Amino acid sequence: MGEFTHFNEQGHAVMVDVSEKSDTVREATAMGRISMSQECFEKVKTGGMKKGDVLGTARIAGIMGAKRTSELIPLCHILNLSKVMIEFEYIEAACEIEACCTAKTVGKTGVEMEALTGVQVALLTIYDMCKAVDKGMCMKDIRLLEKTGGKSGVWKAGQEKDI
């Protein structure tokens, strides 16, 4: 079982010292969904929202969000990201849009938080651009799918060990 790393012996929050860690290629992918009304879903899909290209704007926002993760999450390290990619998929039967964010760097610490932030900011942007049509949208299932690199190596959702 893992231990909490962001607390010192006195229980105070600290930024983890990664100076002794090796630089490795690190990549993480996260995803999440936003559900909406049929009317809203169709308007996004057909480009009928008054604010413009919803997914194009959400893609840029997600990338920007991933790049600014250390400004939003207090104990995150500032990372030099070499890649941030946001992809979307329409889930017709559920009137949902799935967002997937992959972040990559070469460094001493992982990019899980950047991938998760990218997904969440992309979904928040969809909400912002569509709220005039549907204020009841729901963001859900935001989670890490996979991470690679570093001492712990590869981790994939669904392959966790029993505790």
Residues identified as active-site = 128
Cα gap 63→84, rounded to integer Å: 6
- Judge contact between 55 and 100, C-beta under 8 A: no
CA atoms lying within 13 Å on the CB side of residue 111: 34
